[in-house]
Amino acid sequence: MFKLFKLNRRTKGEYIFDNLNMLFMLIICFITLYPIWYVLVNSLNDGIDAMKGGIYWWPREFTLENYKAVFANPGIVTSFGVTIAKTIIGTLTHVFFTAMVAYALSRKELYGRNIYMVFGIITMFFSGGLIPYFLLIRDLGLFDNFLVYVIPTLFNFFHLIIFVSFFRELPKSLEEAAKMDGANDLMIFVKVIIPLSMPVIATIALFQGVYQWNDYFAGVIFINNPELQPIQTYLYKVVAESSSNQMMLNAPGGITTKTVTSQSIKLATMVVTTLPIVLVYPFLQKYFVKGMLIGSVKG
């Protein structure tokens, strides 16, 4: 009876502990998600009414005028196109180039492989700084050029380490069999290694895709042409430069009776620019975890 009583007490304590953990996770989720919900709710509310405050859970005066004002500006449509183009092109070229370099460095027969790895690791901790980097970009002819989103991001040493760890685990017999059939190193990489490396390729593509979508720094520093600015740079300038307290929406039929404020425009722009990646990210989260575990467990 005494043993049973001790077991029940222990079980009850574990039950309380589990419930506390669940409550703690719910609180963390609420703290994380509520700011997003707050921005969405206020972006769907009339701008003048939102200035009164008190909107926390639902729009008080629902309207889509804020979003109409955002999309009425042709600049945001152009910026979306630039962002989509640089995300797709930058991700594909980054994955292929980094994987190709990583495959070479994963070969033990490569002369000076350890020296290259040491030099690469040093670049992860030290850089020349922003001014030398800007001068380099200018001298390469990449200033105000779409390729500034692609060429400087072709290679990332951290991603190379993940690739190298994965390539080292592939059976050597596959390469030996391909060489016996007359394939050279490039053919082996394209026809053997890449098809077998789709998990790590998906992981790196997700890393780079999220970076390309969220990057605004390159557009701020290296781009003056508004037609080459990505959507995140557009959002940055809307938030940083908008100083008017009120603006009217110019519709095809004339000026509408609804008014929107600079704050409501900022909120609507934030929703428009972040919604695509927010919707995609939860479904691809597992690849982030998998990417961090590649090569960490042996045997």
What SS3 class is residue 169? coil
H or E element: which one contains 12? helix 2-43
For residue 6, what pLDDT is reported?
A: 47
The rounded distance, in Å, linking the Cα atoms of 88 and 225 is 21
Segment 72-107, tens digit of pLDDT: 777 777 888 888 899 999 999 999 999 998 888 888
The rounded distance, in Å, linking the Cα atoms of 228 and 238 is 16
What SS3 class is residue 275? helix
Segment 233-247, tens digit of pLDDT: 877 776 665 544 444
DSSP 138: H
Cβ 295 vs Cβ 166: under 8 Å: yes
For residue 247, what pLDDT is reported?
A: 43
For residue 285, what pLDDT is reported?
A: 65
For residue 12, what pLDDT is reported?
A: 63
| pLDDT tens, the chain, 299 aa long | 444 444 445 566 666 767 777 888 888 888 888 888 888 888 888 777 677 777 778 878 787 877 877 777 777 778 888 888 999 999 999 999 999 988 888 888 778 888 888 888 888 888 778 888 889 888 888 888 899 999 998 988 888 888 888 888 888 887 778 888 777 878 888 888 888 888 888 888 888 888 888 888 888 888 888 888 888 887 777 666 554 444 444 444 444 445 667 677 777 877 877 777 777 777 766 666 655 555 454 44
First to last CA, the chain: 46
The rounded distance, in Å, linking the Cα atoms of 38 and 25 is 20
For 174-196, the DSSP string reads HHHHHHHTT--HHHHIIIIIHHH
- Distance from the Cα of residue 143 to its chain's centroid: 23
For residue 284, what pLDDT is reported?
A: 66
For residue 97, what pLDDT is reported?
A: 92
